[in-house]
Amino acid sequence: MKSEELADYIEDFLDYLLNVRGYSDATVETYEIALRQMAEVSHFYEDDGVWVLDITPFRFKIVKNSKKTIVKKLSAVRSLAKYLEDQRHLKLKIISDESIKAPQSLPKPIEEKYIEEVLQRATIEEKLLVSMLYGLGLRISELSGLRLEDIRAGWVEIRGKGNKVRQLPLLDSLQTLLRAYLANKKPKKYLFEKGNVPMNSAQLRYKLTKLFKESGLKATPHQLRHSFATHLLNHGARIADVSELLGHKTMATTQVYTKLGSVKKMQEYMRAHPLADVKHQPSEE
């Protein structure tokens, strides 16, 4: 995150509004409040000669503001972007500038603590199944067809939709689990196989749902993929990186996950803030 560069650009922009455009002190102060709030949480980085301003965390932060306030704050960000393009000649792209609408059919992410509880009581095969889906955000079909030769040197090569290939890094803990699983199960060609053929999606899905059901939870492979994306974004990951990890064609597909975390974040804020009134906590419905 290039926070210092962004802060400098904001200072220059505010000086420009005041001294060149002749904006009033009050108006400039309004811009300043919105832009400093944005800069505190957003990601600003260079990617292939293009500067990217990812304001996804900022959208989380202002999600409960009035519509009028959100419009004003986003307008300030767009004005800054126009200044950087026109006056500073930067190639700039803003992520999460548009309205985000999540389909109502999206499953709720599974809370991290519940996933951890399930992993503690799982067999080594079940543990690897959950860890591959949740730790890498894989589709169940991708995991079903995963070959041993696709796993090497801390990376795994995934063939996704449209035969699109992506490289995913393996966490140290996942590498340790993989080594233990391979030594125990000794698969020949596929990571999950039965009788020298890969387990199909239905077989893997059954194992997963049965495991979670034993803990009193309903879970699907796709729900773990949603949880992977949502938890990464909630912990500050850049939406561009999450999009690449998921194998999405465009970041617009990934942006639906930003809506999933907004209510959860507000609930946590309402519980934690000393001035919060628990009677007015937002509902997840």
Question: For the residues 121-133, what does the mean pLDDT come to?
Answer: 94
pLDDT tens per residue, range 147-198: 999 998 889 998 877 778 888 888 889 999 999 999 999 999 999 998 889 9
User: What does the radius of gyration of the chain's CA atoms come to, in whole angstroms?
Assistant: 23
Reply yes or no on whether 114 is catalytic. no
Q: Which of the four pLDDT bands, split at 50, 70 and 90, describes residue 77?
A: very high
Reply yes or no on whether 152 is catalytic. no
Reply yes or no on whether 280 is catalytic. no
Reply yes or no on whether 222 is catalytic. yes
Reply yes or no on whether 23 is catalytic. no
pLDDT tens per residue, range 221-279: 988 888 888 888 777 777 777 777 776 655 555 555 555 444 444 455 555 555 554 44
Q: What are residue 54's DSSP bridge partners?
A: 43, 95
Which position among 222, 259, 264, 265 bears the catalytic label?
222
Reply yes or no on whether 147 is catalytic. no
Q: Write down the residue that tokens 């804020």 correspond to.
A: 269
pTM: 0.54
CA atoms within 13 A on the CB side of 84: 23
The burial of 263, by beta-carbon neighbours within 10 Å (0-12 exposed, 13-18 middle, 19 or more buried), is given as: middle
